[in-house]
Amino acid sequence: MSMPASLVDSHCHLDFPDLVAELDAVVARARAAGVTRMVTICTRLRSEPSVRAIAEAHEGVFYAAGTHPMHAHEEPLAMVEALVALAAHPKFVGVGETGLDYHYTAESAGVQDESLRIHIEASRRTGLPLIIHSRDADADMARILSEEHAAGAFPCVMHCFTSGAALAETALGLGFYLSISGIATFRSAKALREIFAAAPRDRLLVETDSPYLAPLPHRGKRNEPAFVAETARAMAPVLGMEPDEVAALTSANFDRLFTRAAG
């Protein structure tokens, strides 16, 4: 079954070497798969000009920028005012990705916390959604998001959600969204699929996180935005929906959260 032209890849990295070398072909394949909009994510603020240029050069491509938690210890600390200034660009649609990663960089937890809170304040001031990366940091992530939300609300998506049910419950309770990546198609991801099946349908997005985490049947290969269609297809029976319904649902949810990129 072909997917309708309503799919959105809510998180990809088009500036990464694996994709930028053949960017026009990557975008064309996405369009052929029914993916009409993409958000390309800048993970180091010094790369923002090149990521912005990609968005400017391609219709339907938007961008977000921030400091990835794994880079927080080796990059200058982001400033709220600088992030707010980036939001003046009409194709700048989100703040991040930011968050906590204790899998590879637990030793920099302190600066990750500080960086995350700066990005949260920029999200508050701009009204643009915060894009969260969380790995092996469920308890601290739930605590920080709850503390900060109590101090002032902000929109947010838990990108490439692979955490446990407790963090999902916290995030959903704060009004946040969960984004489904290719990991959810892996046979070993039954518990993760159960989290998505139990989540409110109006809080789910789909993404590739390309060039990483290709869904089945492409696992182990370079990922690209076109493959978000495979994730949508694989999630259809999990959600009790048809593939075209998953596409329409996640696109509508994307429009509600990423208002600047709404179709």
Per-residue pLDDT band for 121 (boundaries 50, 70, 90) equals very high
| Cis preceding linkage at 211, omega within 30 | yes
Given a contact cutoff of 8 angstroms between Cβ atoms, the answer to whether 87 and 52 are in contact is no
Is 74 assigned a ligand-binding role in the annotation?
no
pLDDT tens-place string over residues 62-77: 999 999 999 999 999 9
Q: What domains are defined for the chain? A: 7-261 (3.20.20.140)
What pLDDT score does 1 carry? 41
Measured over all CA atoms, what is the biggest interatomic distance in the chain, rounded to whole angstroms?
48
Structure tokens at 121: 């304040």
Best CA proximity match to 2, nearest among 28, 33, 31: 33
Average pLDDT over residues 152-161: 98
Query: CA-CA distance, 61 to 84, in Å (whole number)?
Result: 20
What is the H or E stretch that residue 17 is in?
A: helix 17-20
Q: ω before 217 within 30° of 0 (cis)?
A: yes
- Give the residue-averaged pLDDT of 99-121: 98
Q: Look up residue 114 and give its two tokens.
A: 């500080």
Return the ∠ at Cα 226 (arms to 223 and 231), rounded to 5°. Answer: 75
CB 70 within 8 Å of CB 101: yes
Torsion-angle region of 83 (φ positive above 0: left; ψ -120 to 50: alpha; else: beta): alpha
Q: Report which of 205, 217, 147 is spatially closest to residue 176, judged by C-alpha positions.
A: 205
Q: Is 39 helix (H, G, I), strand (E, B) or coil?
A: strand
11 marked as binding residue: yes
Q: Any binding-site annotation on 58? A: no
The pLDDT assigned to 180 comes to 98
254 pLDDT tier (thresholds 50, 70, 90): very high
Residue 94, SS3? strand
141 - beta bridge partners? none
Per-residue pLDDT reduced to its tens digit, 189-216: 999 999 999 999 999 999 999 999 999 9
E-strand stretches of the chain: 7-12, 35-42, 61-65, 92-101, 130-135, 156-158, 177-180, 204-206
Q: Is 159 marked as a binding-site residue? A: yes
Of 30, 29, 28, 38, the residue nearest 8 (C-alpha): 38
49-77: string of b/e by CB count within 10 Å (b at 16+)?
Answer: eebbebbeebeebbbbbbbbbbbbbeeee
Section 163-187 average pLDDT: 98
What's the pLDDT at 6?
87
Is the pLDDT at 86 greater than 50? The verdict is yes
149 annotated as ligand-binding: no
Is 218 annotated to bind ligand? no
